[in-house]
């Protein structure tokens, strides 16, 4: 049983106990699914990150994506499994990149990077967020405004955190705070990228590529079983 089915079963059982309507049960199921999917994604990212020696980096990057996505929305894969696979891939790849950047770039150069990255992110979020999905439509103007404010608030929190981490590196001469700052910026920037038209096209390309790959694997396994 996958996370989506598990969420529906649990929400249905809870809804009957609370005498909830079908709409309320559907909302509960979506909320449970989002929570389980997020926890599973972060758990897998931490496990792979620990194996590669970048556990904290991958956790920070994955959390940065998840927290902003809660308010901003963004491009989705057509199945929960492929969404999980893409999210894990981006988190691990981004953590590896963030680790290298934090090791080799100086704080003065990072200040320029922070400036340009946050200018771009604030502009895109202000212009596009929140982005609805088929499973989570945005029906009211007030809800859209609330989610936009939440998205901008998260960006502000990220900005203050990145500045603080950069300062810690400057005074302590330890590269790790700067590494974590880059992981936050990479995770945040990927999530903001998924709000754009190009981001949707990239997500769609990855989704269809995984569909093709999984189909090949399934056919290969089927042929292998028949040859036994």
pLDDT at 225: 59
pTM: 0.87
pLDDT at 224: 59
Structure tokens at 97: 């990149």
Residues in the chain: 228
**Angle between helices 80-104 and 197-227 in degrees, nearest 10:** 120
In whole angstroms, give the CA distance from residue 120 to residue 190.
12
Q: What is the mean pLDDT of the chain?
A: 89
Give me the half-sphere count of Cα atoms (radius 13 Å) on the Cβ side of residue 221. Answer: 6
Residue 133 φ then ψ, to 5° = -125, 160
Q: Which residues of the chain have pLDDT under 50?
A: none
Q: CB within 8 A of 184, min separation 6: which ones?
A: 60, 61, 64, 158, 161, 162, 165
**Angle between helices 55-72 and 176-193 in degrees, nearest 10:** 30
Q: CB within 8 A of 177, min separation 6: which ones?
A: 165, 166, 168, 169
pLDDT at 120: 98
Q: Are 127 and 144 in contact (CB under 8 A)?
A: no
In whole angstroms, give the CA distance from residue 139 to residue 142.
9
pLDDT at 2: 67
Q: Are 215 and 91 in contact (CB under 8 A)?
A: no
pLDDT at 13: 81
Beta bridge partners of 73: 131
CA-based torsion, 52, 211, 79, 145: positive or negative: positive
Secondary structure letter of residue 105 according to DSSP: S
65 CA to centre of own chain: 3
């Amino acid at each position: 049983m996958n996370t989506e089915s598990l969420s529906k079963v649990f929400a249905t059982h809870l809804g009957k106990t609370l005498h909830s309507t079908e709409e309320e049960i559907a909302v509960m199921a979506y909320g449970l699914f989002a929570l389980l999917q997020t926890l599973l994604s972060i758990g897998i990212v931490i496990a792979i990150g620990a194996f590669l020696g970048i556990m904290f980096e991958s956790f920070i990057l994955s959390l940065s994506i998840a927290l902003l996505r809660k308010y901003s929305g963004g491009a989705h894969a057509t199945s929960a499994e492929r969404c999980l696979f893409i999210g894990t891939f981006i988190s691990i790849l981004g953590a590896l990149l963030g680790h290298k950047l934090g090791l080799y770039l100086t704080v003065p150069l990072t200040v320029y990077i922070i400036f340009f990255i946050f200018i771009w992110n604030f502009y895109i979020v202000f212009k596009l967020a929140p982005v609805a999905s088929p499973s989570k439509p945005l029906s009211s103007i007030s809800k859209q405004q609330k989610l936009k404010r939440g998205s901008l608030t998260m960006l502000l929190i990220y900005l203050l955190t990145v500045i603080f981490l950069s300062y810690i590196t400057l005074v302590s001469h330890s590269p790790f705070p700067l590494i974590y700052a880059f992981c936050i910026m990479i995770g945040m920037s990927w999530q903001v990228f998924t709000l754009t038209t190009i981001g949707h096209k990239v997500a769609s390309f990855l989704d269809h590529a995984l569909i093709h790959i999984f189909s090949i694997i399934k056919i290969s396994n089927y042929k292998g079983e028949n040859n036994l």
